[in-house]
């Protein structure tokens, strides 16, 4: 018996036609980003992974950038973590992050540079050498 939404029998593996309607064409990473933010109705923030082999990587080398989606400007942080690309998207104003940081920071350390000492801040103290 054949499934109407699939190309294989009901006893086989089901692959919906909508997901793989064009088996040899892949969407651009930028299209996935825009479409997802629109699909969520412009959330204040979101985070997701996408597989490298699912997209055309038209944002290669872009790790930190602004992205306009309709009337909304998103701050995008993007990094490769093979076999995925990780996206963190936020439209929360930087001032809000700064104010929140004032109340959330619980640890500070000093970095020695050739131009003097610089304090850096953390939400919590990290266990040095830990893998997680």
Global pTM reads 0.63
Classify residue 9: in a domain, yes or no.
no
Within-domain flag for 48: yes
Asked whether residue 50 is domain-assigned, the answer is yes
Task: Answer yes or no: is 12 within a domain.
Answer: no
Task: State how far the Cα of 84 lies from the Cα of 50, in Å rounded to an integer.
Answer: 5
pLDDT tens string 71-128: 999 999 999 999 999 999 998 776 777 888 899 999 998 999 998 889 888 888 888 8
Domains held by the chain: number? 1
Q: Which domain holds residue 44?
A: 29-92
Per-position DSSP letters for 73-132, written without gaps between them:
EEEEEEEEETTEEEEEEE-S-HHHHHHHHHHH--EEEEEEETTEEEEEEESS---TT---
């Amino acid at each position: 018996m054949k499934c109407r939404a699939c190309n294989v029998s009901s006893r086989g593996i089901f692959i919906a036609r909508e997901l793989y309607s064009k088996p040899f064409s892949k969407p651009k990473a930028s299209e996935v980003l825009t479409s997802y933010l629109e699909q969520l109705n412009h959330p204040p923030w979101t985070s997701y992974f996408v597989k490298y082999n699912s997209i055309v990587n038209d944002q290669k080398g872009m790790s930190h950038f602004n992205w306009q989606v309709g009337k909304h400007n998103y701050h995008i942080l993007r990094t490769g973590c093979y076999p995925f690309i990780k996206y963190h998207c936020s439209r929360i104003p930087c001032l809000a992050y700064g104010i929140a940081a004032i109340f959330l920071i619980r640890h500070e350390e000093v970095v020695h540079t050739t131009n003097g000492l610089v304090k850096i801040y953390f939400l919590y103290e990290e266990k040095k050498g830990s893998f997680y």
